[in-house]
Chains A and B, each alone.
Chain A
Amino acid sequence: MRRLRLTPLRLAAAILLGSLCFAGVAYAASLGLSSQKLYVWKQALTKSSCAPAESDAEIDQSSPTTNFGNRAAQTVLSKPNGNSYVLIGFNPAAAPCSLPTTAGADSAVLTVTVTATNRGPDTVSAYPITSAWNASTVTWNTMPTFGATPDFTFAGVGTSTFTVTAPLDGGIKNGFNGWMLVDTTGTNNATTTIAGHASAQLPSIALNYEK
């Protein structure tokens, strides 16, 4: 085997080869960087809790132009003629919650207290209200629209809680109109009396939110 002598020319050739290798590495790296467009960012979320402002009203078919807003007791009644419904609403955009439309509910639990029933107890169904209303002005003739499927139902005297996370989450973003309480058992003249806005047991929501 012949011994390879290191001449200046061979040394230069070796260095040139090394240079090309470095250039190759550099080209591969820049190809990797420029071959993909990229933008990254992060959005931090603030967690807290509040009880949205509540309002309620009773609307009576037998007194279609009279407002019964924010009283201590509101009654759901079902009979052949002269029904009455109860509307309960919450406003997460108002104080004390003051949530922006970009916020969201992590969890929400509604508490409703029935103080009395008569000729029942009948089942009361809570339908989601789908248009705006005002507890100080709403009447039977101006009742808001409401959905066909109840979010929850209850019957009998006592305090009940319902998970309403999805309705509140959607309501924070799009405006929340609350629920229409309707007797869905039948036309048997039964009444269900609910603690209203002016009582200590008014409907309430414990809301954990992020914004």
Chain B
Amino acid sequence: MKRLINVFGAVLTATLLSAGVAAAASLGLGSGKLAAGSATVSGCTASALTATRNVNNNGNVTQVNVLNVPQACAGETLAVTLENSSNGSLGNASTTIGACTGGCTVGVTGFVSISAANVVALAFSLTG
């Protein structure tokens, strides 16, 4: 009987430890809002990169240019979302970063009739 109690105690301890790991993992998942701010996991850059955008003569965005993208980001996916004053998405586009020497400018195209006047923020993500 004493041996059984010891086994039971060990199993209970293992259970509680496992439950703790599971709780921590699910907390990490549930609290991770990607649009809420910066969270660095990727190793290719650790700083917010500056971007410009081009417009056509109608004032619609034709391209977003992200400046000084590190060479280490080659192969990763750069996504851009154009946001309005309510933090809502007006449109988005993405591209795979190609190889370049040193810091390079990455152009993202594919925005459809989005007036630059309505764009008050550019949201970016780099995934690899």
Query: How many positions in chain B have a CB within 8 Å of any CB in the partner chain?
Result: 59
> Which residues of chain B from 43 to 64 have a CB within 8 Å of any chain A CB?
43-46, 48-59
Residue of B nearest to A163 (CB): B57
Contact A39 B126 (CB under 8 A): yes
Q: Which of A16, A29, A43, A101 has the most CB of B within 10 A?
A: A43
> Which residues of chain A from 30 to 52 have a CB within 8 Å of any chain B CB?
30, 32-33, 36-45, 47
Q: How many A-B residue pairs have CB under 8 A?
A: 156
Q: In the bound complex, how far is the Cα of B26 from the Cα of A164, in angstroms?
A: 53
A20 cross-chain contacts in B, Cβ below 8 A = 18
Q: In the bound complex, how far is the Cα of B45 from the Cα of A40, in angstroms?
A: 10
Question: Can you identify 13 A-B contacts, CB atoms within 8 angstroms?
Answer: A8-B1, A16-B11, A36-B41, A37-B44, A37-B76, A37-B126, A38-B126, A43-B50, A43-B124, A45-B122, A102-B50, A210-B116, A210-B119
Distance to closest chain A CB from B24 (angstroms): 8
Contact B123 A19 (CB under 8 A): no
B83 cross-chain contacts in A, Cβ below 8 A = 42
Q: In the bound complex, how far is the Cα of B68 from the Cα of A86, in angstroms?
A: 39
Contact B125 A38 (CB under 8 A): yes
B52 cross-chain contacts in A, Cβ below 8 A = 101-104, 173
Q: In the bound complex, how far is the Cα of B127 from the Cα of A110, in angstroms?
A: 42
B residues in contact (CB < 8 Å) with A: 1, 4-5, 7-8, 11-12, 14-15, 18-19, 21-22, 24-26, 28-29, 32, 34-35, 37-46, 48-59, 67, 76, 83, 115-117, 119-128
Q: In the bound complex, how far is the Cα of B32 from the Cα of A5, in angstroms?
A: 45
Query: How many positions in chain A have a CB within 8 Å of any CB in the partner chain?
Result: 45
Contact B22 A104 (CB under 8 A): no
A210 cross-chain contacts in B, Cβ below 8 A = 116, 119
Which residue from A8, A12, A40, A105 sits with its C-beta under 8 Å from B55? A105
B124 cross-chain contacts in A, Cβ below 8 A = 40-43
A166 cross-chain contacts in B, Cβ below 8 A = 55-57
Q: In the bound complex, how far is the Cα of B6 from the Cα of A188, in angstroms?
A: 111
